[in-house]
Structure 1
């Protein structure tokens, strides 16, 4: 079954459609009230394991808000998945939940925002609040991801201070339009120059920026090349988080799931602005 699905290797898991952080520039594909149940999750992982998938990323919503977050991680381990988490956890129950499973995680991406991005998004995910998160993890299988808008000297100092103290890598991404947050970014050229000078730009980020500029000049038709699936909180697998036309329930038969996923690789969805935010993350080794 895996031969016809190409290089399929990972799955992005939406633990809930709702989110208390509720960033104004959030890339969530689904917004609603669904919360991923353990039954649905276990069924999905069983089918994905049969397909040869060996890596998953818990996202959300904020995954540490899930009432059974620890169990989500434990079940993934039982199926042999390398499990990573993208989180905005900082204090209280969220940080406690994250620290409680830290040893079981292959990687943790800690999300943060520059000062102006934080003001625009009303997120509370400041850069200066991240050291306690890395300390709580107790390991260096982690990275800092900063969403940047109108970067200033204080932002740069904060980022350097955090990554040097925690000894973790960082990726700084400029704030681009998303399906839920559209705006002009007059500071984009300057932000990109500062990112490249101080931190370097990954090939993925360069591709994202190039694609973005192409979209500004007109529609770009490009087929999805992602090797990762998406599991929605209500229990559907699909190739693209933003395209439910080819989704299949995890409670369908093995044959139905296999055929639906094969079809999504034979006729991949087209990419768009939304895809730039959610489907460019690389798998982490470590």
Structure 2
């Protein structure tokens, strides 16, 4: 195994191109009608295990909307993967699907939005609606992720209540541009001050923010340093979720897949604004 592939720590899996949540500031890489099939998924996991990857994160669209969500988790375990999920589930079939396999998951990241972010994105992912989700999990291998826009005292109180009640850590991220929703956040400096004062700000988040400002002025050119691959819902592996020019089908031959992935390390894609939202490594990522 090469040093490149040996550095991979996991794979981010898109379970579907479409999403009923459909946040206005969504950062998903693919938008369409493809839904990940069990055949494609199993083939991908087999090939990924062959190159030494043993961690995966199910993302979306909303992964609990996948008709075979429970089987996706069970198949992952059968292949020897540690499986995590990023979800906006709150009630009904979504929460039922999540609760059914909660004990099998290495980590669950529950997504929520500050009040103004929720209004801006029309998401319905309120902070105050998350406690039943953490309760349904039945374990503390979980965290709250809050997308922040115009944070205020009510948001901070809501976050504090959830953290104390559910006994889970929280990550608060300022709303930055995405491929589908680009804008200058006039509240960014204030949001960052509140995040730093109330929760502390990691060196990694500081780097993201610094990169954001630099990229706005076109002064940064950087190659991808992601430690995970991306699997699209239609069955293609690639290094960058946003760059399909050098992707390879999971139904290609073993050597073709290995060669394509090796090449992605020899000539890594260039990072951009979109990459900061989806590929920066988070403390509680599965």
Superposition TM-score tier, normalisation by shorter sequence = over 0.9
1:220 & 1:124 partners in 2: Cα distance? 35
The alignment's TM-score, normalised by the length of structure 1, stands at 0.98
Q: Does 1:233 align with 2:226?
A: no
1:280 & 1:19 partners in 2: Cα distance? 22
Deviations 1:88-120 (A, max 9, x none): 000000000000000000000000000000000
CA contact (8 A) 2:18 2:33 kept: yes
Superposed displacement of residue 219, structure 1 = 4.1
Moved more, 213-222 or 263-272: 213-222
Aligned match of 1:253: 253
Aligned match of 1:178: 178
2:285 & 2:64 partners in 1: Cα distance? 22
Map 1:42-81 onto structure 2 (within 5 A): 42-81=42-81
2:284 & 2:188 partners in 1: Cα distance? 27
SS at match of 1:261: helix
Deviations 1:68-102 (A, max 9, x none): 00000000000110100000000000000000000
2:259 & 2:203 partners in 1: Cα distance? 33
CA contact (8 A) 2:24 2:121 kept: yes
CA contact (8 A) 1:2 1:51 kept: no
Superposed displacement of residue 125, structure 1 = 0.1
SS at match of 2:33: coil
CA contact (8 A) 2:109 2:285 kept: no
Map 1:203-242 onto structure 2 (within 5 A): 203-242=203-242
1:140 & 1:134 partners in 2: Cα distance? 8
Instruction: Give 5+ residue unaligned stretches, structure 1.
Output: none
1:170 & 1:181 partners in 2: Cα distance? 24
CA contact (8 A) 2:6 2:52 kept: no
SS at match of 1:224: coil
Superposed displacement of residue 37, structure 1 = 0.1
SS at match of 2:46: helix
Aligned match of 1:135: 135
Superposed displacement of residue 184, structure 1 = 2.2
Q: Write out the 4+ residue segments of structure 1 that deviate beyond 6 Å after TM superposition.
A: none
SS at match of 1:265: helix
2:178 & 2:47 partners in 1: Cα distance? 31
SS at match of 2:128: helix
Superposed displacement of residue 3, structure 1 = 3.9
Q: Does 1:90 align with 2:90?
A: yes
Change (3 A) 1:283 1:254: farther
Aligned match of 1:193: 193
Aligned match of 2:243: 243
CA contact (8 A) 1:2 1:52 kept: no
Superposed displacement of residue 164, structure 1 = 1.0
1:158 & 1:29 partners in 2: Cα distance? 30
2:252 & 2:105 partners in 1: Cα distance? 29
Superposed displacement of residue 216, structure 1 = 2.0
Change (3 A) 1:220 1:3: closer
Superposed displacement of residue 285, structure 1 = 8.2
Change (3 A) 1:285 1:62: closer
Superposed displacement of residue 196, structure 1 = 0.3
Superposed displacement of residue 215, structure 1 = 1.1
How many equivalent pairs are there?
286
1:62 & 1:254 partners in 2: Cα distance? 30
Superposed displacement of residue 2, structure 1 = 4.8
Change (3 A) 1:283 1:190: closer
